[in-house]
């Protein structure tokens, strides 16, 4: 088996700097926010990163098992390292607003141990009995163009299709007049196109998926920037702050992977790059964070006014600094019995928020036992992921519309005694929903499911040699979903239940394959339009 190993210089630097940052942040947390709970949380962070550093973040794993490694790396950064650092920068302890800090970090550490042990077992199996299956399925993807780099023009077309999916999704959600069932079917198709709106961003990152690609394309940078601004306005028109931020996050994560794989120049610690990085941090934590808050403030109006008016209202609110500060100062836990407060920054709250874990565990403890209705709901929710024709063939009768009208977090909240809980789409977490549904057996379900999950995502990694040099290239089909993989078990909808892993097997993975292949086929057929551009 080929063992292509990347240049390890940046990997060594990355590990070294992460340890330095953790050390400084841990000391500062202990000095300014000393408590038994906070010290336990800090020790958990150090232990977690030690495990990831030694057992996961290696040259071999990055080159051969790239996307499964990204999943574990993303979990460790969003659940441990980033909360440690950014709570400190906001002047808060790591355990800020956590009612059950010991439980949060114990469950997170147990889950991390499950991921690491499962990853070791998965690698052992794939290098042995699983190698034939891997090469057969990986070969199928190669033959069907999943590793054939799209042209720049194709990437622009894919981005336009994705943006059209965004616009149509907003219309279907906010202004659609058909039946609810029709809206659900249409919305599912359109929603699947949304991540592809970020395809043009990857023109700047060709070495990741193009053999011999330029180190960093510069010529289309201005066009990509204009496209990003356009996505920002589309996001405001649909009142979805996550849409344009997901694209920026995807570029950042992909660039990090490229650095770790040795695809880009590791000498990035220069004055120019530092200045750009500081500017980027300021934009994200300042203007973009305030813009996201403005979008939340005007959200109640999105079903009553046009997208143009919504954009104008958002920009007007964005300029009203007093309104933004007043919204940030509101203690929503006094008004509602559901509290997600952890970070002040609205984007960090959607990226590495430990309060989701805490809130779900609190609800599970209120139930005090495995809940039979919660189990029945979880099973029905799994079946609801299948298309209606398959459900009819299997004679499974469920109300898909009702099941998809609220989240796992909603139902757990409802079962724990919350009033008017269904339909709010609260973000649950697999620790709390798992404990309420399966007891501690949820960890076994997590372990059993994550091994084939690792296998499926790593099918999008291509390793080959020209006789003297080893290479690793990644399918763009998976790279477009990189933010999803990175936050898979932290803050995405996927992380609400361990059962969502199994949902990904029966629908999510196949949908990802089919949508990308259709878009690739369609854009190849439309390539003749390039002569008119």
pLDDT at 153 over 80: yes
Measured distance CA(216)–CA(204) in Å, rounded? 6
Closest Cα to residue 415, out of 431, 432, 402? 432
| Higher per-residue confidence, 174 vs 244 | 244
The whole-angstrom separation of Cα 120 and Cα 51 is: 12
- How far apart, in Å, are the Cα atoms of 282 and each of 9, 91, 107, 290, 353? 28, 17, 33, 11, 20
DSSP 254: H
**Which phi and psi angles does 442 have, rounded to 5°?**
-60, -30
Among 23-32, 345-354, 371-380, which stretch is predicted with the lowest mean pLDDT? 345-354
- What sections of 56-100 are H helices per DSSP? 59-64, 66-76, 82-89
Tokens, residue 310: 């919504």
List CB contacts of 244: < 8 A, sequence separation 6 or more: 228, 231, 232, 234, 235
Lowest mean pLDDT segment, chosen from 249-263, 348-362, 463-477? 463-477
For residue 18, give both structure tokens: 């992460």
pLDDT at 335 over 60: no
- Residue 473 has phi, psi (to 5 degrees) of -130, 150
User: What's the pLDDT score for residue 173?
Assistant: 56
DSSP 20: H
Contact predicate 483/194, CB 8 Å? no
Neighbours of 334 (CB within 10 A): 8
Question: Residue 216 above 50 pLDDT?
Answer: no
- Determine whether 467 is exposed, middle or buried from the number of CB atoms within 10 Å of its CB (0-12, 13-18, 19+): exposed
Domain extent listing, the chain: 152-331
Beta bridge partners of 290: none
- What residues contact residue 156 under an 8 Å CB cut-off, 6+ apart? 199, 200
* DSSP calls for 316-345: HHHT-HHHHHHHHH--HHHHSS----S-SS
Q: Which is more confident, 241 or 455?
A: 455
Cα distance between residue 87 and residue 29, in whole Å: 9
Distance CA 496, CA 427 (A): 7
Phi, psi for residue 2 in degrees, rounded to 5: -70, 135
- The CA-based dihedral angle spanning residues 464, 469, 475, 478, taken in that order and rounded to the nearest 10 degrees: 100
Tokens of 505: 């097997």
Rounded alpha-carbon distances, angstroms, from residue 278 to 88, 271, 306: 18, 10, 36
Give yes or no for residue 164 having a pLDDT over 90.
no
Which residues are paired to 471 by β-bridges? 464
Cα distance between the two ends of the chain: 45
Residue 258 pLDDT exceeds 80:
yes
Averaged over 435-464, what is the pLDDT? 94
Confidence of residue 4 (pLDDT cuts 50, 70, 90): very low
Rounded Cα distance between 280 and 283, Å, is: 5
**Taking the mean position of all CA atoms in its chain, how far away is CA 108?**
17
Eight-class DSSP state of 149: P
Q: Rounded to 5 degrees, what angle do the CA atoms 58, 62, 66 make?
A: 145
Compute the chain's Rg from CA coordinates: 23
User: Which tokens go with 174?
Assistant: 């906010």
Quick: pLDDT tens for 385-437: 887 788 888 888 888 878 888 888 888 998 887 766 677 778 889 999 999 99
Tokens of 22: 């953790």
Nearest to 242 by CA among 314, 346, 355, 86: 346
- Band the pLDDT of 333: cuts 50, 70, 90: low
Angular region, 449: left φ>0, alpha ψ -120 to 50, beta rest: alpha
Residue 497 to residue 375: CA distance in whole angstroms: 11
Give the total residue count for the chain. Answer: 533
8 Å CB contact between 45 and 26: yes
The rounded distance, in Å, linking the Cα atoms of 137 and 134 is: 5
76-90, 198-212, 473-487: which is most confident: 76-90
Lowest model confidence (mean pLDDT) among 85-94, 288-297, 353-362:
288-297
pTM above 0.75, yes or no: yes
Query: Residue 392: how many CB atoms within 10 A of its CB?
Result: 11
């Amino acid at each position: 088996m080929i063992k292509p190993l990347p240049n390890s210089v940046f990997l060594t630097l990355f590990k070294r700097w992460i340890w330095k940052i953790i050390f400084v942040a841990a000391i500062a947390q202990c000095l300014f926010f000393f408590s038994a709970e906070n010290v336990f949380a800090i020790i958990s962070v150090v232990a977690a990163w030690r495990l990831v550093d030694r057992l996961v973040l290696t040259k071999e794993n990055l080159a051969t098992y790239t996307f499964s490694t990204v999943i574990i790396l993303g979990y460790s950064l969003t659940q441990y390292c980033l909360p440690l650092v950014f709570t400190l920068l906001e002047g808060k302890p790591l355990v800020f607003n956590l009612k059950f800090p010991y439980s949060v970090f114990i469950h997170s550490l147990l889950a991390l141990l499950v991921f690491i042990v499962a990853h070791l077992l998965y690698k052992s199996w794939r290098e042995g009995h699983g190698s034939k299956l891997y090469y057969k399925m990986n070969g199928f993807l190669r033959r069907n163009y999943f590793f054939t780099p799209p042209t720049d023009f194709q990437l622009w077309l894919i981005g336009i299709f994705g943006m059209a999916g965004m616009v149509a999704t907003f219309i279907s959600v906010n202004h659609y007049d058909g039946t609810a069932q029709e809206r659900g079917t249409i919305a599912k198709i359109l929603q699947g196109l949304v991540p592809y709106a970020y395809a043009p961003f990857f023109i700047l990152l060709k070495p990741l998926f193009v053999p011999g690609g330029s180190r960093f394309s510069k010529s289309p940078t201005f066009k990509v920037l204009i496209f990003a601004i356009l996505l920002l306005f589309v996001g405001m028109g649909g009142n979805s702050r996550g849409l344009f931020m997901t694209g920026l996050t995807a570029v950042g994560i992909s660039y990090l992977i490229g650095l770790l794989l040795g695809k880009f120049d590791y000498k990035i610690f220069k004055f120019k790059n530092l200045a750009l990085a500081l500017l980027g941090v300021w934009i994200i934590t300042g203007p973009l964070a305030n813009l996201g808050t403005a979008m939340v403030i005007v959200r109640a109006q999105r079903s009553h006014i046009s997208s143009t008016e919504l954009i104008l209202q958002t920009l007007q609110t964005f300029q009203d600094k007093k309104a933004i500060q007043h919204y940030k100062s509101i203690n929503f836990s006094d008004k509602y019995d559901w509290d997600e407060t952890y970070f002040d920054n609205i984007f960090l709250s959607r990226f590495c928020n430990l309060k989701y874990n805490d809130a779900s565990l609190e609800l599970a403890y209120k139930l005090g036992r495995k809940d039979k209705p919660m189990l029945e709901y979880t099973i029905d929710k799994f079946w609801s992921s299948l298309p209606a024709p398959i459900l009819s063939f299997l004679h499974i009768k469920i109300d898909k519309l009702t099941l998809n009208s609220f989240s796992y977090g909603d139902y757990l909240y409802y079962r724990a005694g919350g009033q008017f809980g269904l339909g709010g789409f609260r973000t649950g977490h697999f620790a709390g929903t798992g404990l309420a549904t399966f007891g501690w057996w949820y960890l076994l379900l997590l372990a059993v499911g994550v091994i084939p999950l690792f296998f499926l995502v790593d099918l999008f990694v291509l390793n080959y040699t020209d006789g003297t040099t080893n290479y690793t290239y990644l399918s763009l089909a998976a790279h477009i979903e990189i933010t999803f993989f990175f936050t898979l078990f932290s803050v995405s909808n996927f992380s609400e239940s361990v059962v969502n892993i199994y949902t990904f097997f029966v629908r999510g993975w196949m949908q990802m394959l089919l949508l990308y292949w259709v878009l690739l086929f369609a854009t190849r057929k439309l390539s003749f339009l390039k002569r008119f551009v």
